[in-house]
Structures are given as structure tokens and as C-alpha cells.
Structure 1
């Protein structure tokens, strides 16, 4: 019996082990594809460029392929060199945009030109090259501007059937994924906080990924969060990036700045004689971080709360929504996805998360709002995925009017 069980176990884990071995090669293969595909499409796809152009262009792509991973390791590894991180992140974003449009134009535009009978093979190949370079340049300039600007405010009414009439019109401001990092964004942080204050919200929420780096290192950029005002409370939960950078330090700093870290606990928001439970959980990666006392625990977050009251839950990753729906949560607020940040990366995000952006329903009661994020991670570009500060206005169900005599 034991031998058979062990054999089955071994047979069941073999495919998984092979998959894990294959996954190890992705960090090696992906950079090669990101640089090799555009190099081929732009230089070797039938253009017949002069030899100096072909050699020079190939050297540029080869330099990018070598420099990008080297800079990212020095920037995001143990050395934490901000200048190297900026270089590596910028090259990564540029390579992704070039790769995307090289694939699209290398197939679709070339096919359209061929069907239309436009020019000979060399003319079509060169048209594809200039189209890729032109579109990539425009998108990178525009994407950089989009990433660095103060996010626009996205306003949304959210109807919650269990919300008491006294809470109707409650204003909830959501910021998330500020990702203070290698690029100094103190001024940007100040302007974001001023924008939040202009909303005059009852509740202000930050759903994690404050920064890339420790609280001590990014304190100056995060300090303006201490100026944020709310009529009732400012609440915060950890994101996965906190667990790369001494999460407890960030919890302590947010507490110091006057925010309430909702680490598997809740507070009550009372307004107009009605009550809303505002709960929060640690990020789903917290337990695997090995940091004592950190884990996502919904039961602990709701412990002692009246089950008849509506619940607003803060959870960094949208994938927590399954547990939230099982626990009877009315509305979950999340970030993490950045809306994909650089198109069409959102298709890959969708493989890991149940939602990428916006409001969605899960089960009979539970709504999920996924923010596209307030800042950006890594590459300083946002392409077709604008950042946001979100103002959600909670709406109670309309009560039928009493009949008049």
C-alpha cells in the first residue's frame, strides 16, 4: 500500500517538477525574445539595408540585450542601485513596446501591404520598419508622460444593497500601487495627496505596494501621505512589494503618518445612524514571506463584527475575491494589476487575476473594484492603461415611499 501510494505521488509530481524546471528558463528566454524579434523584423526582414546600418543596428540590439538584465540585477538585487534600476527598467519598457509592435506590424501590416500590392518586398519591409519605429517612439514618449503625471480622478457610484440609508453618499477615496522607487517623486507624491484632499472623502484607502525599497530608504517620497485628510479614517493594507522590502517597516511608517494599518482587523465607520465595517487583510503573499504574524486572514479581520452589517474589504490583490465572496463581503477594493500598465500586458495579468480594472461582480452579493493604480512599477511608462485616483460614492438602495392618503 505504501509503495503504491509513493509511486502515485511520484507520478503526480513529475509533470509539475518538469513545469517548474521549464519555468526556470523563462528569465533567460524572455529577454532574448524581447530584443531578437525586433532586431529581426527591423533589420533582417527583407529590407536589404546598407551593411553599416545592419551591423550598427545589430550592435544596438545586442547591447540592449546585455545591458538590460545586468542593470536590473544591480538595480533591484542586493546592490539596490537606483541609477541601474532606472536604466534597466527603461530598457525593459522600451523593449516590450518594440517587441509588441514588431510582432503586430511584422505580420499584420506586412500582410495588408502585400494584399494591397503596395511596392515590392523591400519597400514593404522598410515601411514596416519605419512604422514600428515611429509608433514605438510616439508611444514611449506618451507613455512616459502618462506615467509621470498626477492621475486623473475616476468617479464611480457603487450601489450596495445592504448599505443603510444613513451611509448613502459616503465618499471613499482609493489610492494604490504608488510604488515610490528609484525615480525621486516627492513632488509628485505631494500633488497626489493634494488631489486626494480636494475630494473631501469620508474614508481614504491605500491598498498596498507603497514603494519599491525599505521605508527608511523611501521615507521622503512617502512622507506626503501624512498630509492626507479624511472625515472619518485613513486605512492601509500591505501589498506584495512590501514583503520584498521589510513589510513591518512600512506598517510602522504608515502608522506613524496617521494611517490605520488594517492587518487582519476592522474599524467601524458610522454615519447618519448606520454603520459600515471597514476591514483589511495582509497581502496573499504575506505568509510565504516568513515574516512572523503576517498572513491574509479574513476571519480574523471580521472577528467581532456584526454579520448583519455591510462590509468594505481592502485586499491588495483581486484574486482574494473568492475568499471575500465566501465570507459575505459586500465590496472589495484592490489594486496590484496596474491595468496591465503597458498594452497588451493586461492579457498576461488576466491569467493570474480575476479582474484587471474596474467594477465586477462575484457571486450573489460581492462586488470587486480593481484600480489601475496611482503610480507605476518598474518601466516608467503607461500605455493604454492610465493611472487613477478613485472616488467611489457608496449608494444605499432606494426605499419605497410610503403611500399617501
Structure 2
């Protein structure tokens, strides 16, 4: 490494950067809520500090919020729970709301230094640069109940690298611009998915350019359409499914997707099917919440467990079938309350709106075009996230320096 850098616990950083213990930069927040706010927050690694009900679709907080920590916008919270991809927990800044409350299991703090940019601090904690410091203070064998055993004092003693305030601001501005691009792309995806949902409803009830309609068992449909049962247009291959225990899957790790109720859950080195098929979830909470796909197409060599029905289309466009099954409400078909289930006898009787082959192809083509746009935008998100990670690694260590003009005004 060049002599222009100095060695630190984070690797080499520029010589004019300072190393500071966290306690010299921030102050701990232990202010109690005293029932001022009901905005209970939880930490999402992806979305930051978010409303608990919005995140879990329910409240998991205690009824008495008076002892919860009271946070203001710009404050930070550290969740010591470790998870895949986040071995030392997650630290996030409160951005979405003016105030909120969090569990006292979190370590909370706020910036107290005028020469430390809050956005820079946010990105420092979004990176993995602080992991090594926390790794050294996490007590061995102290991972009870999914929480790292890290003392509060030891946490506030971790060392962090800081450039000058102007360079902090410039770095934060660059990373913020990437975040803004990510947010705009996410909005495009959300809008496109809303359009797709409305279009599916229109296409599966009104079709394309029809003017005459009739009543049917599933509502008003074009006169030329018929209503059939699912069993009339698919062959159900559930008898060929075979679940594999996780421990056994580890012994046959490979490149062939292993599917469950909502998509790929693992990879194996053997296959059951090698053809285009549609999977329809058999059980699980997702049948009601619909947070993940219920019906989806699989192609090529695949292995499917016993949590998804396997459908081979016989006289229906496979894409039309996939979209149609994903569009309908399954509430009347679901049995079981503790564990919602779509049994095979029931799915055989699912009513399907059945246009001509030509119109099925046209409807599938329209929806495929929208999916191609969604795939393109999601790839854009992946690229931007990868770009952001690379920039954080380079900018937050000074490997790439940003030009600073003493007369330049940089937003804080």
C-alpha cells in the first residue's frame, strides 16, 4: 500500500483522516416515550426504521409503550439481532418519520458533533466497515436468542474513520444521489406492478376489444368465452413431487433449482421435471397474505417439493394459465386456519375463464411485455445497489478521494 495511507482496523485510510471512538461522536439516547408516541418502529435491513404494523402487518410490541426509547428524526438505533447477510446486526437512522419509539433491546444514539455529517454517519453504518470492531467485542458464545452479546460501553468504544466535514458531505452527496436513483426505480416498479394488476383484472374479465358480454359463474365475461374447471386443461403431476430435508439437500448441493410453495428455496444436483410447468402453492400463510407469488412458471430441469401443486397444461396457453391463477382470489378455496391449504381435490374445481387460443396468446403477450419491463427495472435496481456497495467501500475508506474545493458549497 502507498505510503500516503496509514494502517487502521479498517485497513489503510488517508493520513489526514481521523480515527475516533463512537462515544466521542454520538451520545446515547435513553429518553423514555412516556406515551408520547404510538409509532412503534422496527429495523428492516432493507428499509431502515419502519412502522412495525406496516412491516409485519401486525403489532408485536407490548401494550405499554411508556418505557420504550423515544427517537427523533436523525437518531440511530442498533438492532443486535444477527441474520443472513448481517452477521453483526443492523444500524439504521430514523428518516421516514419525525418521531418514533423502539424496544429497549436496541442501542440508540444521536450525533452530537457539528463536524460530523449525519448522512455520512448513516452510510458508514450501512457499510460493513464497522463489523470488525464489533466482531472483536462480541462475547464468544454470546449469541443467545439470536442477539449478539455486546456490552453498551464496548459498543460505544468502537473506532470509526472520519475525513474532513467537507469530504464527508461530498461523499454523502454522491451516495445520496445513488439512493435517489434507486428510489425512483423502485417507484417505477411499484407503478408498473399496479398497472399490471389492473390490466390483469381487465383482460381476464373483458378480454380484448369485446363489445358483448354475458353473466357466468365467475362474473361477467365476453360472450365468446367459456368457463371451465382447471382439471379440464391441465394434468396434475403431484404424485411425482418429492421433498428433501435441508440436511440431505446440503449433501446434493448443485445448480438445479429446488422449488417450494413460493419459489426457489434451494439448489440441488438432480431433477424430477424437465419441461415447462406451472406451480400453484399448496399451503402456507402466503395463500392469504399474497406477499409472494402463488402461481409461477418453471422451465428446464427442476425439483419440486410437496408444498406446490405441479400443473402440466394440456389445452391452455401456459403463460395465460400462470397469469390467470396468480390473479384470482383463493379465499373460498382455502381450507384450514392455522395452516392455510389448497388441496388437490379443490384446485381441480377452480373455475377458469377460457377464451380462444388466439386471445389467450394475445393476453399472455401483453402481460409478458409488462413483466419484461419489470425484469429490466429490477436488474437496474441490482446494478445500482452493486454500484452503491462498491462506492461505499471505496469512498468511506478514502481509496477513492473526492475533489474538495474550499469555496464549494456542499449540502449537509
Q: Do they fold alike, i.e. is TM over 0.5? A: no
TM-score where L is the length of structure 1: 0.24
The structure in which a higher percent of residues are helix is 1
Structure number with greater Rg is 2
- Which of structures 1 and 2 has the larger relative contact order (alpha carbons within 8 angstroms, sep 6+)? 1
TM-score where L is the length of structure 2: 0.24
